[in-house]
Amino acid sequence: MNIKYLFVVILSLFLVSCSTKDIAISEVKDITTIEQKPYAYIDNFDLLDEDKQVDHYDNFLAKYFNPWNINELSFSYEQATWGLKYTTQEVYGENHRLISKEWFEKIVNNSNYEKLNSLSKRAITVNYSHIRVFPTNSVIFHNPKKAGEGFPFDYNENSSIKPNVPLFVSHISLDKRWAFVESSFVLGWIDIKDIAFVDDEFIDSFKTGEYYVSVSDNLNIYKDGILIDDIELGTIFPKVDDKLLLAFRNINHSAYIGFIDDNDYIKQMPIKFDYENIKNISDELIGQRYGWGGLYGHRDCSLMIRDFYTPFGIFLSRNSGDQRNDGVVFDLSNLDDNGKKEFIKNNGIPFLTIVYLRGHTMMYVGTLDGEPLVFHNMWGIRTKQKDGSSGRFIVGQSVVSTLDIGSELPNFDSDNSMLSRILSITLLAQ
């Protein structure tokens, strides 16, 4: 046989072998066998009572605009500076090397915490941005060699934040580049270029009483036909005289009101809690990449759920632990795995029930063949290596799954399965 031909055959077999191996482990069973349409599993869909939805919307608006009604942070000094705990821990930078004491001293000094509440001004976001734990874009990782740590889990990332969000500004960093702010859902540092200060006149003009919300993700918005930005699902716009309002910043860091072109995918809030709207919002969010804290324009578990409910005018907290308490809570921690499944099936309301385990939230969406299904954005499934160490099978996206997701994996860690770690469910809008 020709040597060159033999080489090509061997190489082809090698590549096929590698390819087959990759395919075999590239996806968990749930994602390939369960139709990835969260709305496809509703047996009896319960409409949210209209009066109750109005109450939730009133509560949403009150919380959304609350930062403009306060004169100091809603948090104590200890709560506001919670991130200082990282200064005493072994944490790593983007180069996977331990962060030095000197680095933290510099960052903490720049934080200027002794000036907490000294500025006490009102502001608004004018860009999509990020709220950071410390006034820096540098990352903070726990040990990158440990499963479930390292990229993308930057503990300096608190949350992404959309434009048009009211803020209270406590104070400014020493280098004048960062503002320490409180919004309706998150507290921390924001790049000062992404905010503008507001006065009573701006607030009176901005609070029109009629608000619209984007129901499409990565939506281009225009002014006079010229592209202004692309926005996320859940971005809110006041409307007046049939014009959508967007906050802009002038050279003096003051906000002024601009207008954007009308858009079919920006709807009046709250949209009706019905099957068609649930379908549309679900279609926007399913299959999206996982984004810890909202990094890279993506969503983590709690941000996906929060954004899902925003168009309906239902306010949810930002992190999973707080979302657990955003409704009527039922403790499942003393139930075995089958007991948890039965309780969720018998008591959960599709699309109005949050399933909680430490560090993760999911939305109950119905059943398939007697198994409860959840819609969630997840990073990975816990596995156990041959040496007994913990590992992860990366999912890295929003999926519809059973509570036993990944159980078919040969190294599935059944002692630390998602189902075994479920602690409670929360009924929303009750």
| pLDDT tens per residue, range 320-333 | 999 999 999 999 99
Model confidence at 42, in pLDDT bands (50, 70, 90)?
A: confident
Cα distance between residue 351 and residue 268, in whole Å: 21
Lookup: tokens for 410:
């040969």
Lookup: tokens for 308:
């899902």
The pLDDT tens digits for 125-176 are: 999 999 999 999 999 999 999 999 999 999 999 999 999 999 999 999 999 9
* Cβ-Cβ contacts under 8 Å for 108 (sequence gap 6 or more): 84, 87, 134
Nearest Cα to Cα of residue 161 among 375, 306, 59 = 306
SS3 state at 370: coil
Average of pLDDT values for 195-214?
98
Nearest Cα to Cα of residue 118 among 78, 70, 172 = 172
Average of pLDDT values for 215-230?
95
> What distance separates the 2 farthest-apart alpha carbons in the chain?
86
Q: What is the pLDDT of residue 215?
A: 99
CATH fold of 26-48+273-427: endopeptidase fold (from Nostoc punctiforme) (3.90.1720)
Domain ranges of the chain: 26-48+273-427, 52-268
Measured torsion, CA atoms of residues 199, 205, 210, 213, in degrees rounded to the nearest 10: -60
Lookup: tokens for 317:
């907290």
Lookup: tokens for 283:
């279609």
Lookup: tokens for 228:
């202004």
